Amino acid sequence: MHFDNTPFDRLTIGDTAETTRACTADDLYVFARSSGNRNPMHLPEADGDLDGVPEGIAPMLWVASLVSEVLGNKLPGPGTMYRSQTLTAHTAARVGDTLTARVTLLAKGDGRLARFSTEVLREDGTLILSGEAEVIAPDRPQSFDGSDVPDLLLRRHVHFERLLKLAEPLAPLRTAVVAPEEAKSLGGALLALSHTLIEPILLGDPARIEAAADEIGADLKGIRIIPIPENRLAAARAVALVREGRADAIMKGHLHTDVLLHPMLDSDTGLRAGRRLSHIFVMDVPGLKQLLFVTDAAINIAPDLKTKVDIVQNAIDLARALGIEEPKVGILSAVETVNFAIPSTMDAAILSKMAERGQITGGAVDGPLAMDNAVDLEAARTKGLTSVVAGKADILVAPNLEAGNMLAKELSFIAHAAAAGVVIGASCPVILNSRSDDDEARLASCAVAALYHARAKTPG
């Protein structure tokens, strides 16, 4: 990103320059944050005039900033200082429009003053904005490398927004919510109900559930409550509801995960489906172009090779249910080569070969991979890795629960990722939220479970 200027003495009347770019939703969010202007008319998904349709209109000063880009980068270029700018708006620009900003030199004056006509046009030639700008042109040649300007990372979770839209047409998932006896767990279930993602069946102590509802100002009218004060018995009843065909999923409330999962593992009355249960974080990481899956971070503490086969297959099946037809699976370790002193590297190599031989299906599997060369293409190239997975992994399989949990928490609390949590491998999905999860994560977990359930019911 290199810019050269045109000093004042080299400017000629009629000189012109332009730039073209698309107006994106991110542009409007950045402008709202930097300017402080939160007018809903200029926010991509807000309905500013209450007509039922989001406007997504680009602020006129954002449109005018494209003129500033031309003056500052191209003509006259680096070293230019604004004196004045007039603007006349002719029509609105919206998200998705491709805009061209053009400046033409009209006159030169004392003190290196240069006057330009300015205009911004839509791709079809429609005039969006016109005016004149006066600038003080630079007095000497200058080149500038703009590549050192820091990048911006927006904390938007566009992938979760997509999942929610995909789940919207589905019938609500009949969900046994176990011990929703405090504000967040009950509130998450009711929020998912309001978005028609689930149809909750509340199992727990009615007095505690009512107290939680009072705390958040919720009305439980019309919601089925099965009174079971003891968590262990409530979890067992949830399993029974699934076995009886009266529930399609189970959701964790205010109880320990091991208490919730224990009755599912019973060989006679549980929900075993031929595989080991495993936990999967579905993560929307700002700046990443796709969802990122991290497993196992909550159930299998030190999985052996047989368990890792199920962990990998569960994650592939979930990723496919969310629209990734051939997910790329990176088996993580500390290094990307087999090292006999690091057992996880040997497990990774075996898992990769098993996938090649069809013993793991539905995705591409490679390992061992270190974290950097699993997700960064340049890091993979530096290490000479050329597989279809290296640098492009959708699924990260941790060597043990400690590594998986730390990776997921680092992504959440340092990289500002949003994380949905589900357990796969039983005969129904299990929605497993953390007490620290916000509303977005709780909704996304329900959407993930609904999409997985719908895929599981689809023949073939």
CATH number (domain holding residue 333): 3.40.718.10
> Which of 148, 182, 197 is the endpoint of a domain?
148
Contact 306, 351 (CB under 8 A): no
153, part of any domain:
no
Tell whether omega for the bond before 76 is within 30 degrees of 0, i.e. cis.
Answer: yes
**Which neighbouring-strand residues pair with 178?**
203, 252
Residues 327 and 373 in one domain: yes
Other Cβ atoms closer than 10 A to 125: 7
Residues 215 and 291 in one domain: yes
Q: How far is CA 322 from CA 61, 164, 166, 296, 358, in A?
A: 39, 11, 9, 18, 22
pTM of the model: 0.79
Question: Could you tell me the two tokens for 121?
Answer: 């046009």
* Kind and range of the H or E run holding 365: strand 364-369
Share of the chain above pLDDT 90, in %: 84
Residues 192 and 44 in one domain: no
Please give the tally of structural domains in the chain: 2
Contact 123, 97 (CB under 8 A): yes
> Which of 117, 148, 179 is the endpoint of a domain?
148
pLDDT score, position 53: 85
pLDDT score, position 437: 77
Residues 208 and 327 in one domain: yes
pLDDT score, position 460: 54
Residues 132 and 211 in one domain: no
* Torsion sign, CA atoms 118, 119, 120, 124: negative
- Residue 4's closest CA among 141, 101, 113, 104? 141
From first to last of the 460 residues of the chain, give the pLDDT tens digit: 789 999 999 999 999 999 999 999 889 999 998 999 999 999 888 888 888 888 889 999 999 999 999 999 999 999 999 999 999 999 999 999 999 999 999 999 999 999 999 999 999 999 999 999 999 999 999 998 888 888 776 666 788 889 999 999 999 999 999 999 999 999 999 999 999 999 999 999 999 999 999 999 999 999 999 999 999 999 999 999 999 999 999 999 999 999 999 999 998 899 998 899 999 999 999 888 899 999 999 999 999 999 999 999 999 999 999 999 999 999 999 999 999 999 999 999 999 999 999 999 999 999 999 999 999 999 999 999 989 999 999 999 999 999 999 999 999 999 889 999 999 999 999 999 877 778 888 899 999 999 999 988 775 5
pLDDT score, position 388: 93
> Which of 126, 148, 170 is the endpoint of a domain?
148
Residues 100 and 163 in one domain: no
Residues 84 and 219 in one domain: no
Residues 211 and 230 in one domain: yes
Domain limits at 233? Answer: 158-457
Residues 281 and 371 in one domain: yes
Tell whether omega for the bond before 40 is within 30 degrees of 0, i.e. cis.
Answer: no
Other Cβ atoms closer than 10 A to 365: 28
97, part of any domain:
yes
Please calculate the CA angle 344-316-199 and round it to the nearest 5 degrees: 125
Residues 219 and 177 in one domain: yes
Residues 177 and 320 in one domain: yes
Residues 359 and 393 in one domain: yes
CATH code at 125?
A: 3.10.129.10
Q: What is the rounded CA–CA span in Å between residue 93 and residue 43?
A: 13
pLDDT score, position 362: 96
